[in-house]
């Protein structure tokens, strides 16, 4: 029996409870904060320095059955690492912090061909990734709420060259790819206008299954702020979005410039007077795939990302090919964590109490 089919057949038991208690795991070393996307050598060095352990957890689809086919032939490994891609402008020409529309489309095509499928960040955080056997998750994130990420054409639909328009068209052509993303918004420059003038775009995103995340009111360097100013930047933005969207709570934060406030605890929880906040995850600027929730290396409060660009995507896709044990591969069953027995040392100490584990 093929290894992938064997692991699926072993995972039909219902998982032990329940949602992941975020922050319980030991901290993982923060990814290096590059001023620009790291070169291949720097990315490799950062990975080596971090011990080469990890990949995100699996799980968010109905229990797998033998009828589900492994679409890539890869055996399951839900103790690998997951790609969380970081984009900014989607505009011409190619530049640091800017991916051309054609380049973004090419990223989607390459990821799809390589067996990656789009998943919501919330599913990764909950260790409930819903994917067919043999596929790997990718999370798309967009910082700074640039107008190029979402603007509307004359027909009221997302423009074809906007990030959302490109993703929607690609998903229509490849229905099994998925259509998900997190938009880390900056209220004072919300899609090219002050926040109150752009809330229709926030509503559109939420109504179409996208997630919103906090990126502060005005994109300051939080490391230079006072405790009061940090809490205002985060809490006031939460309050504005709650008001605009009828109580919507942004659950995650992307740090502007990757910089922490001097009191790091204020990046997770605080009260800006007009708005309290508490985040389940904090995303970094760069520079590698993220550990899986079922691994000891996982810390949702220090989640690394891979900055978008031809060079870095090529590097990490090749790296996964060269190190197959480091790539998260779904077993098709959200009710258990499947992995090669030789990787059992990566498990977090309480993994058996949280999930059904199946090694092979």
pTM for this prediction: 0.84
Q: CB burial class (10 A; 0-12, 13-18, 19+) of residue 114?
A: middle
| Residue ranges for the chain with pLDDT beneath 70 | 1-67
Quick one: DSSP state of residue 76?
P
What's the confidence (pLDDT) of residue 65? 47
Q: How confident is the model at residue 224, as a pLDDT? A: 98
**pLDDT on residue 57:** 33
What does the pLDDT read at residue 67? 55
pLDDT at position 11 is 58
Domains in the chain, please, with CATH? 22-61+75-329 (3.20.20.370)
Give me the phi and psi of 19, to 5 degrees please: -70, 145
User: Rounded to an integer, what distance in angstroms lies between the CA atom of residue 170 and that of residue 162?
Assistant: 12
Q: How many CB atoms lie within 10 A of CB 219?
A: 17
Are residues 217 and 188 in contact, defined by beta-carbon separation less than 8 angstroms?
yes
Predicted local distance difference test score (pLDDT) of residue 253? 99
What DSSP line would sit under 16-41, residue for residue? SP----TT-SPP-PPPP--SSPPPHH
pLDDT recorded at residue 334: 87
Q: Where are the alpha helices (DSSP H) in 61-131?
A: 101-113, 121-125
> What is the per-residue pLDDT for 287?
86
Q: How many CA atoms lie within 13 A of 201 on its CB side?
A: 30
Is 297 strand, coil or helix?
coil
Q: Is 303 helix (H, G, I), strand (E, B) or coil?
A: strand
- What Cα–Cα distance (Å) separates residue 30 from each residue in 49, 294, 302, 303, 320? 11, 18, 6, 8, 21
């Amino acid at each position: 029996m093929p290894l992938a089919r064997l692991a699926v057949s072993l995972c039909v038991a219902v998982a032990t409870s329940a949602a992941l208690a975020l922050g319980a795991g030991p901290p993982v070393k923060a990814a290096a904060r590059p001023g620009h996307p790291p070169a291949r050598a720097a990315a490799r060095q950062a990975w080596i320095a971090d011990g080469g352990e990890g990949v995100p957890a699996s799980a968010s689809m109905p229990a797998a059955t033998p009828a589900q086919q492994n679409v890539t032939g890869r055996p399951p490994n839900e103790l690998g690492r997951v790609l969380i891609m970081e984009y900014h402008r989607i505009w011409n020409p190619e530049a640091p912090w800017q991916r051309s529309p054609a380049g973004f489309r090419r990223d989607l095509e390459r990821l799809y061909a390589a067996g990656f499928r789009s998943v919501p960040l919330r599913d990764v955080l909950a260790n409930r990734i819903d994917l067919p056997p043999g596929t790997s998750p990718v999370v798309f994130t967009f910082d700074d709420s640039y107008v190029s990420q979402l603007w509307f054409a004359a027909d009221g639909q997302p423009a074809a060259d906007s990030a959302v328009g490109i993703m929607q068209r690609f998903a229509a052509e490849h229905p099994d790819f998925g259509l998900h993303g997190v938009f880390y918004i900056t209220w004072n420059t919300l899609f090219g206008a002050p926040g109150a003038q752009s809330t229709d775009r926030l509503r559109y995103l939420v109504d179409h299954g996208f997630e919103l995340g906090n990126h502060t009111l005005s994109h300051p360097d939080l490391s230079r702020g006072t405790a009061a100013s940090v809490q205002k930047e985060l809490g006031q933005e939460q309050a504005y979005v709650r008001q605009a969207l009828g109580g919507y709570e942004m659950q995650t934060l992307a740090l502007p410039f990757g910089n922490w406030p001097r009191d790091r605890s204020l990046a997770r929880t605080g009260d800006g007077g007009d708005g309290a906040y508490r985040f389940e995850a904090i995303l970094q600027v760069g520079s590698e795939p993220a550990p899986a929730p079922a691994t000891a290396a996982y810390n949702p409060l220090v989640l690394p990302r891979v900055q978008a660009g031809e060079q870095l995507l090529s590097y990490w896709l090749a790296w996964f090919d060269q190190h197959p044990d480091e790539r998260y591969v779904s077993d098709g069953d959200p009710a258990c964590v499947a992995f090669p027995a030789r990787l059992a040392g990566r498990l977090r100490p309480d993994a058996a109490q949280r999930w059904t584990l199946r090694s092979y």
